[in-house]
Amino acid sequence: MSDQTSSGPVVAADGRPLKQSLQRALRRQKLRALMLIAPLLIFILVAFIAPIGAMLFRSVENEVVSKILPRTVVALENWDYGSGEAPDEPVFAALGEDLLEAVQTKSHTILARRLNYEKSGMTSLIKRTGRKVKRMDMDAPLRPQFIEADQRWADPEVWGVIKAYSSPITAGYFLNAMDLRLTPDGIEKRPESDSVYVLLFKRTILLSALITFMTFLLGYPIAYLLSNLRMKTANMLMILVLLPFWTSLLVRTSAWKVLLQQQGVINDVLVWLGLVADDNRLELINNATGTVIAMTHILLPFMILPLYSVMKTIPPSYVRAAKSLGATDFTAFRRVYFPQSVPGIGAGAILVFILAIGYYITPALVGGTSGTFISNRIAYNISVSGNWGLAAALGALLLILVMALYVLYDKIVGIDNVKLG
């Protein structure tokens, strides 16, 4: 018999509704847990997420043009690229004022570099005009003076580039990374001779998948051996797996160079055995084959170790039980052992695939031209060409690709099916 009204909520001993009381207790627990991980969270946010976010933002940031040529950008809004002619005097007047200010702060060279990424020749055009703009007569019409300083100011293509890149946020870098181009007319495809990124993305994904598969083929038997042998032998073999893992990456890659070269050890042995003609030696390096071989070797421990740690937890009694029920060796393996090792395969495969996609040292050293990855181009754009916007766009695309593949993996295999031991 209860003396509560049927419409009132359940109350705890102190009169507060039970639901509230429960939430309060849970909240305190959650807060305590949050406080414990707060230092780590702040560290990751500051040292990891913030810098990467800032770098990724560069892939759309395009403040250079609108900051250095503010009046010109506004004046260009009325100009139509389709007219086929350079703009009129007001635009040139705006350009003159902007350039004069830019030259004083020497920021016109930054503008020159930025526009040169989109159209060759802009560096010399803007630098040369920058030297001459100080001597121009600001009260006389500027259009003829500019065109006299450099013929290219009469070319609508030049103005088209400036207009296309006027806005502070641009999709230009992303389009560039997908072998498209931003023109005043809209988006158009780049010519074949200029398109390399889509091909590289495809190649990176395919080769990384191949490498993952090869490490799985080679790593599964080794992990099986390691987990099923006697302790002593297993430990000995484990050292053989770990020692190369601890050796420097560059040393291992250089060793592969010595082995795989045309005049290298493998080819010499094959010629000596008579399997290969001397003037027709196998080309095992400076192409995709070299990359796959070297990277399979380097990433093998990343597949073996997760597999080993999962296999170690598989009780041998299951397989024995299956055999006692009449299964052949192969059926017992296929239906009892293998499904239990799938979480380890999942962990190893993800690890190897993501590492392989991001590698750039080994493909650079042994890949030649047909074995280089997208990461080599990202490195080029950061170190040599200085086009950080394009590098950020390529990096962002790679990140999106990996995340998409992760979602796909989740749908097919299930992310709960990943164990590291």
Partner 1 sequence: MKLTTTLMATSALIASSVAAGAEEMTIVSWGGAYQASQQKAYAEPYMALNPDVKIIWDESSGEAVAKLRAMAEAGNLTWDVVDVVAADAMRLCDEGLAMEIDPDTMLAPAPDGTPASEDFGDLLVSECFIPQIVYSTTVGYRTDLVGDTPPESICALFDTATYPGKRSLEKRPIGNMEWALICDGVADEDVYDLLATEEGQARAFAKLDTIKDDVIWWTAGADTPQLLADGEVVMGSTYNGRLFALIEEQKQPVAMLWDAQVFDLDGWIIPAGLPEDRKARALDFVYFATDTQRLADQAKYISYGPARKSSAPLVGKHAELGIDMAPHMPTDPANAKHTFLFNYDFWADYRDDLDAKFQAWLAK
Q: From CA 44, how far away is CA 354, in angstroms rounded? A: 20
Nearest approach in angstroms of CB 257 to partner 1 is 8
Would you count residue 110 as binding partner 1 (CB under 8 A)?
yes
Which amino acid is present at 74?
V
Contact region for partner 1 (CB under 8 A) — 70-78, 79-87, 288-296, 378-386?
378-386
Nearest distance from C-beta of residue 261 to partner 1, angstroms: 6
188: number of Cβ within 10 Å: 11
Provide the minimum distance between the beta carbon of 274 and partner 1 in the complex, in angstroms, as a whole number.
Answer: 21
Residue 183 interacts with partner 1 (CB under 8 A): yes or no? no
- What type of residue is 339? P
Contacts to partner 1 from residues 387-406, by CB under 8 A: 387
Element (H, E) at 182: strand 180-183
Nearer Cβ to partner 1 (306/367): 367
Give Cβ neighbours of residue 232 (< 8 Å, ≥ 6 apart): none
CB of 361 to partner 1, least distance (A): 11
Distance of alpha carbon 84 from its chain centroid, rounded? 40
Size of the site for partner 1 (CB under 8 A): 39
- Binding of partner 1 at residue 123 (CB under 8 A)? yes
Instruction: Tell me if 195 contacts partner 1 by CB under 8 A.
Output: yes
CB neighbour burial string for 82-97, b if at least 16 within 10 angstroms, e if fewer: eeeebbeebbbbbbbb
Tally helices (H) and strands (E) across the chain.
21, 2
Least distance CB 87 / partner 1 (angstroms)? 23
Binding status of residue 151 toward partner 1 by CB under 8 A: no
The DSSP secondary structure of 46-80, one letter per residue, reads: IIIIHHHHHHHHTTTB-HHHHHHSHHHHHHHTT--
Q: How far is the CB of 186 from partner 1 (least distance, A)?
A: 21
Considering only 124, 247, 313, 331, the residue that binds partner 1 (CB under 8 A) is 124
Q: Are 306 and 421 in contact (CB under 8 A)?
A: yes
Q: Say which amino acid occupies 364.
A: A
CA distance linking residue 359 with residue 372, whole number of Å = 10
Residue 56 binds partner 1 (CB under 8 A): no
Closest CA to 81 of 152, 151, 160: 160
With CB under 8 A as the contact rule, the residue among 4, 263, 280, 317 that binds partner 1 is 263
Nearest to partner 1 of 86, 200 (CB atom):
200
Kindly state whether residue 83 participates in binding partner 1, applying the rule CB under 8 A: no
First-to-last alpha carbon distance for the chain, in angstroms, is: 53
- Binds partner 1 (CB under 8 A): choice among 303, 364, 378, 392: 364
Nearer to partner 1, 331 or 385 (CB): 385
Nearer Cβ to partner 1 (67/113): 113
Is 253 one of the binding residues for partner 1 (CB under 8 A)? no
Query: Could you tell me which residues come within 8 angstroms of residue 408 by beta carbon, excluding any fewer than 6 positions away?
Result: none
Write each residue from 278 to 307 as x if it is in contact with partner 1 (CB under 8 A), else as -, in one continuous string: --------x---------------------
Give dist(CA 96, CA 136) in Å, integer: 9
Q: Single out the residue of 17, 144, 386, 414 in contact with partner 1 (rule: CB under 8 A).
A: 386
| Closest-CA residue to 251 (of 395, 402, 171, 365) | 365
Q: Is 359 in the site for partner 1 (CB under 8 A)?
A: no
In this structure, the strands spanning 180-183 and 186-189 are: antiparallel
Compute the least distance from the CB of residue 230 to partner 1, in Å.
42
Q: Tell the residue number behind the tokens 């690709």, with chain if given.
A: 401
The contact set with partner 1 (CB under 8 A) reads: 106-107, 109-110, 112-113, 116-117, 120-124, 127, 192-196, 199-200, 261-264, 286, 364, 368-370, 372, 377, 380, 382-387
